Amino acid sequence: MWKGRFKEDTDSLVLDYTCSLDVDREFALFDIQGSIAHARMLGRQGILEEEEVERIVQGLCEIEKEIKEGTFPWRRELEDVHLNIEYRLTEIIGEVGKKLHTGRSRNDQVALDFRLFVRECMVEWKGELCRLIRVMLHRSQEHMHTLLPGYTHLQPAQPVSLAHHLLAYGQMFRRDVERIEDAMRRVNISPLGAAALAGTTYPLDPYFVARELGMGGTFENSMDAVSDRDFVAEALFVGSLIMVHLSRLCEEIILWSNPCFGFVTLPDAFATGSSIMPQKKNPDVAELMRGKSARTFGNLISLLTLLKGLPLAYNRDMQEDKPPFMDTHKQVSLSLKLMARFMDSVVFNSSQMQKSLKRGFLNATELADYLVSKGIPFREAHHITGEVVRYAEERGLSLEGLELDELRRFSEAISEDVYEVLDLKRAVERRSSPGGTSPQCVLAQIRSLEEWLEKKGEK
């Protein structure tokens, strides 16, 4: 392509080192979409004859068919996807194929292809997230009245419903969807027309190209257009945070599947065994997903490190911006699919959860609040309740297992009605503040999330 300037051929090792074809051939169909839009814009602007535009578009459609059928003749010596397609186009339609690159550079061309690729990936993430939220809603509806300990510091804190616990993850994944939608406004900007870095002398219409490709706007500055990779960094951050949320859920699955908890039974299809210990049923899928989150964080840091010292405008370093995102896309999309299947089939052991409610004095806060209702200041009520807990613990009893006269040793404000307050089911029912764990609050959360999904068009 540049032999007009160079006398010597490129060293074969340099060709191998600089070739990006193994990565950017993933952009082939997006490159064709962008090229068709560019060709039609050139015709609309009178830069190409209409007959030339038709021949170019027909040739590109033929190449698209070859790529989809796996018959396209990729050539490593042509370095990247853009030159491969342009070379093949010229083979098919002749010299007119060389006119396609009028008014553009590979700099704005690859930026466009990458944006279209990231857009499609994030649309896929959004769909998988919504499917996972739907599964969480379904399992929450099944377990509105299943109680288990809620934890802080991984220590028993207060009783909550399993539905309430699962819906917390539903809210995390909802925010992930909303982050995707917000980031998409910046991803979905067309850079085509910026050319190499300074714009072009041809009377291009970047707005036409953007509309043809369903993009929400165009660049404001040609140097920024070809050097901007903020949209990749932002997408990688969104992907990393999705993996954070999946990893937190995986951590709880791993804990809950341990017989010391016994809250869940792993489906055979989502567990592995041991080569030496016949009894083992290992949560390998959850462990791997937890581990892959670290991989996506590394991809984000890799891109940020790549970008931090680059001068304007395009630099060949940017060839290394694609593998991190492609890997993150693979990990995020597969992890979301797997988690939806897992959560749909995991068995929740409500009887084991019920047993665990008897340990850890989960109704201690209820006693403190009860004393407050009798006119005792909260700090004093907190102190009294702590004394009661210590007394019960030393005797191996629960709070509700203490006799009334034992409780009254600590406060004469305590009367027979305290046992109703100490009942764990009623304790959950009383947590009716907005967003709380009471059945009516949980039902409101479910309805709200269902309505949100319906607005997204996700059934």
**What domains appear along the chain, each with residue ranges and CATH number?**
12-102 (1.10.275.10), 107-143+160-193+220-356 (1.20.200.10), 364-455 (1.10.40.30)
Active site residues: 153, 274
Could you tell me the pTM of the whole model?
0.94
Residue 40 — pLDDT band, cuts 50, 70, 90?
A: very high
Average pLDDT, whole number, for the chain?
A: 96
Question: What is the predicted pLDDT for the residue at 456?
Answer: 86
Give the CA-trace dihedral at 135, 139, 142, 148, to 10 degrees: -170
Residue 12 — pLDDT band, cuts 50, 70, 90?
A: confident
Say if residues 439 and 429 touch (Cβ distance below 8 Å): yes
Tell me the pLDDT tens digit for each residue of 341-390: 999 999 999 999 999 999 999 999 999 999 999 999 999 999 999 999 99
Q: What gap in Å lies between CA 87 and CA 94, rounded to an integer? A: 10
Residue 458 — pLDDT band, cuts 50, 70, 90?
A: low
Strands 189-190 and 217-218: parallel
Question: Is pLDDT at 459 greater than 60 in this prediction?
Answer: no
SS3 144: coil
Q: What gap in Å lies between CA 335 and CA 25, rounded to an integer? A: 24
Tell me the pLDDT tens digit for each residue of 194-243: 999 999 999 999 999 999 999 999 999 999 999 999 999 999 999 999 99
Question: What is the predicted pLDDT for the residue at 5?
Answer: 65
Question: What is the predicted pLDDT for the residue at 4?
Answer: 64
Question: What is the predicted pLDDT for the residue at 15?
Answer: 76
Question: What is the predicted pLDDT for the residue at 343?
Answer: 98
Neighbours of 2 (CB within 10 A): 6
User: How far is residue 67 from each of residues 73, 251, 390, measured CA to CA in Å?
Assistant: 9, 42, 73
- The torsion angles phi and psi of 156, rounded to 5 degrees, stand at -55, 130
Q: What gap in Å lies between CA 111 and CA 107, rounded to an integer? A: 6
Strands 155-161 and 189-190: unpaired
Question: What is the predicted pLDDT for the residue at 97?
Answer: 97
Question: What is the predicted pLDDT for the residue at 115?
Answer: 98
In the predicted model, what is the mean pLDDT of residues 103-122? 98
In the predicted model, what is the mean pLDDT of residues 58-85? 96
Question: What is the predicted pLDDT for the residue at 14?
Answer: 83
Say if residues 218 and 127 touch (Cβ distance below 8 Å): no
In the predicted model, what is the mean pLDDT of residues 302-310? 97
Question: What is the predicted pLDDT for the residue at 3?
Answer: 60
Tell me the pLDDT tens digit for each residue of 266-290: 999 999 998 899 889 999 999 999 9
Question: Is pLDDT at 1 greater than 70 in this prediction?
Answer: no
